[in-house]
C-alpha cells in the first residue's frame, strides 16, 4: 500500500508544475489571441490605409476632372473661331477666291471626316463572360465539390 501511494505521489504533479501549466496555457492563449489580433489589426490597418488612399484619389480624380473640363473650356476660349480668324487676318492671311483657287489632285488625300471622339459602339465580338480563371470565381465549397467530382471520375465511381 505504501508502495502504491509512493508511486501515485511520485507521478502526481507538484503544485508548482500545475501552476506552471496553467500559466503556460493562459500565456499561450494570450499569445494566440495577440497574434490573431495583431494579424487582424495589421490587415485592418492596411485596408483602412488603402481605403483612405482610394478616398483621397477619388477626390483628387474629381478635382482633376473638373480642372480638365475647365482647361478644355479655357483652350476653346483661346482658339474660338472669331479669335482665330482675327489672328489669321493679323498675320496677313486672306480668304481664298474660289475662282482663282488652284486645286491639286492627291489620290491618297482623305476627305475631311467628322471627328471621332470615341470608338464607335459595335456589337461585342466576344461573348460577355468573365475571363477570370475559375480559381478566382468559385467558392471553396464549389472547388471541393469539383475536385471530388474529378477524383470520382478518375476512380470510376462516376461515369
Partner 1 sequence: MRLENRWRFNVLAVLFGLAGVIIFIQTIRLQIIPAGKAIRQEGDDRFQGVLLDIDAPRGQIYDRTGHLLAGNKIVYEVGIQLEYVEEPSAIAQVLNAVLGMDYYEALDIANIPYNEEDAVYAVVERRVPAEKAALISSFIEQWVERKESGVQEGNLDGLVIFPYLHRNYPEGDLASSVIGFVAFDEEGYEEIGYYGLEEEYNDSLAGTKQKVWVPFNPNYVTETRHVPTGVSLVLTLDRDIQMMVEDMVDKAIEDYHALSATIIVMNPENGEIYAMSSTPHLDLNEFWKLGEVYPPEIPFNRGVSQAFEPGSVFKIFTMAAALDAEKVTPETTFDDTGSINVGGIIIKNWNEDAWWEQDMIGCLRHSLNVCLAWVGTQLEADLFYQYMNAFGFGTKTGVDLAWEAYGRLKEPGDGDWYPSDLGTNTFGQGVSVTPIQLIMAASAMANDGKMMVPHVVRSIIDGNSQYNIHPQVAGQPVSAETARVLTDMLAISLEKEASSATVSGYRLAGKTGTAQISMGKAGYTKDRTNASFIGWGPLPDVRFLVYIWLEKPTTSIWGSEVAAPIFPEVVEELVVLMDIPSDDVRNALFSQ
Distance CA 151, CA 131 (A): 26
Neighbours of 138 (CB within 10 A): 13
Q: Is 15 in the site for partner 1 (CB under 8 A)?
A: no
CA 136 centroid distance within chain: 14
Residue with smaller CB distance to partner 1, 25 or 47: 47
Q: Check: CB of residue 156 under 8 Å from CB of residue 149.
A: no
**Mask for 46-65, x = binds partner 1 (CB under 8 A):** -xxxxxx-xx--x------x
Task: Work out the number of other CB atoms within 10 angstroms of the CB of residue 91.
Answer: 7
Reduced to 3 states, what is the DSSP secondary structure of residue 118?
coil
The residue among 67 and 146 lying less far from partner 1, judged by its C-beta, is 67
Beta-carbon count within 10 A of 4 CB = 8
Q: Which listed residue (27, 73, 138, 152) binds partner 1 by CB under 8 A?
A: 73
Q: Interaction with partner 1 in 88-127: which residues (CB under 8 A)?
A: 95-99, 101, 103, 105, 111-112, 114-121
- Nearest distance from C-beta of residue 81 to partner 1, angstroms: 5
* Residues near partner 1, by CB under 8 A: 44, 47-52, 54-55, 58, 65-67, 69-70, 72-77, 79-82, 85, 95-99, 101, 103, 105, 111-112, 114-121
Amino acid at each position: 500500500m505504501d508502495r502504491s501511494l509512493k508511486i501515485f505521489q511520485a507521478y502526481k504533479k507538484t503544485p508548482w508544475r500545475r501552476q506552471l501549466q496553467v500559466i503556460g496555457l493562459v500565456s499561450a492563449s494570450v499569445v494566440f489571441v495577440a497574434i490573431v489580433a495583431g494579424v487582424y489589426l495589421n490587415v485592418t490597418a492596411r485596408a483602412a490605409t488603402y481605403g483612405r488612399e482610394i478616398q483621397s484619389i477619388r477626390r483628387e480624380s474629381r478635382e482633376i476632372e473638373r480642372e480638365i473640363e475647365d482647361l478644355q473650356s479655357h483652350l476653346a476660349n483661346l482658339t474660338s473661331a472669331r479669335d482665330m480668324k482675327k489672328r489669321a487676318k493679323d498675320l496677313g492671311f486672306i480668304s481664298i477666291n474660289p475662282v482663282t483657287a488652284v486645286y491639286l489632285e492627291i489620290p491618297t488625300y482623305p476627305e475631311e471626316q467628322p471627328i471621332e471622339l470615341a470608338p464607335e459602339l459595335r456589337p461585342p465580338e466576344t461573348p460577355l463572360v468573365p475571363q477570370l480563371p475559375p480559381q478566382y470565381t468559385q467558392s471553396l465549397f464549389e472547388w471541393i465539390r469539383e475536385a471530388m467530382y474529378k477524383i470520382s471520375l478518375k476512380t470510376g465511381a462516376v461515369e
